[in-house]
Amino acid sequence: MKTLAFVTIVVFGFFSFASTLTLKSNAIVSGKYVTLYDLAATFSGISVQTLKNFKVAFAPQPGTYYVIDAKSVKIRAEREIKWLDVLLTSTEIKISSRAFTIGVAKIQRALSTKLATEVFITDFPTVRIPTSDCEIRIKNISEIGDKKFALVEISANDTNTYVNVEFETRAIGKVNRMDKIPKVVNSYLKKRFEFSLTNRISGLRFDFIDVGKPFGISKHLMGVPVNFILSSKVAKSAVLKYVVHDYENVVVASRKIGYGQKIENDLLRLERLDVYATTTAYATSFKACVGKLAVWSFLKGQVISLKGLKSPPAVITGQILIAYISYPAMMVTTFVRAMQNGVVGQVIPVRNVENGYMLYGVIEKGPKIRIYSGGE
């Protein structure tokens, strides 16, 4: 009996230490779940399948991580898997998820197949998935105003991700070099803008580039959707972003101009400026400014806004003018003094220079006053 008892103890001890597993301090996962296999640095006496079937938690979102308590994993694993001895290398385990970014060209090809026409992606959110292997399905096509949208389903690792994609189907040209794209865009816009590319694409092989319809991104930024074609297939889809420049000779103040000051040639100069997307009503010649009055103050070098100028009155207070009144057989004229400023067509009070009578008349070109009423 004693011998048997001794054998039983030995057998128990053998099995209790036959299965061991050492936990990692950092683990990178690619599946939907974090398994014990993902967390194992080394293991023996236990099958791979058993470890893969042991789910610890849901995997973090692609490209992110979280931290779990290593001791909690140890307690649970030793409780649920018989004879397993779990060794720790740290108190916490950092769990990260692999991240693969969906290429826009994949979406472009799926849309082109669905619509049986060439497609240019104009807006596509960055989508990260835990594996490079995915399936793309176009679920719905819609239009709001002049914009086209597609609801796209991306399936990876038994998980579906849905994103809205904005796209265009209109091509405006084809080029064999990237530096020729601005010429195509200007031809479409019927403008002569200058463009500065902000997101350069280098090292890409292509036979030619299909250029889509440009669109505004911000006040000074324009987007141009393009497809790089290689061997009759879309190798890459992208939105090229350009800072747009529109240079013109603009009238600016050559020195400070005060409120109410009459604009003369010596107060102005021309300066070549970028006026793209400006909201200022600027002038490109002195003719539009000279002779007018400033209703704003302008600093030296400031663009002269036409909104800050006004035409001087045709008549100013105190000015001596010819006034007349017509009768069927005669016209009577006299000299009058303007009692207020006025423009052509305005009724103003005037005073007869000879007798001091106050009269009212309409300012006409000349300027002169046509009297229609009066009194002492």
Helix and strand numbers (H, E) in the chain are: 6, 29
User: CB–CB of 138/154 below 8 Å?
Assistant: no
Distance of CA 166 to the CA centre of its chain: 13
Whether the Cβ atoms of residue 33 and residue 58 lie closer than 8 Å to each other = yes
> What digits encode the pLDDT tens for the residues 68-127?
999 999 999 999 998 999 999 999 999 998 888 888 888 999 999 999 999 999 998 888
Answer whether the bond into residue 349 is a cis peptide, omega within 30°. Answer: no
DSSP 3-50: HHHHHHHHHHHHHHTTEEEEE-SEEEE-SSEEEHHHHEEEEESS-HHH
- Going from the C-alpha of 324 to that of each of 215, 313, 318, 333, the distances in angstroms are 61, 20, 18, 4
Looking at the whole model, is its pTM more than 0.85? Answer: no
Amino acid occupying residue 358: M
Strand-strand pairing, 19-23 and 84-87: parallel
Per-residue pLDDT tens over the stretch 152-190: 999 887 778 898 999 999 999 999 999 999 999 999 999
Up-side HSE of residue 250: CA atoms within 13 Å toward CB?
A: 20
Sequence length of the chain is 376
Mean pLDDT of the chain: 89
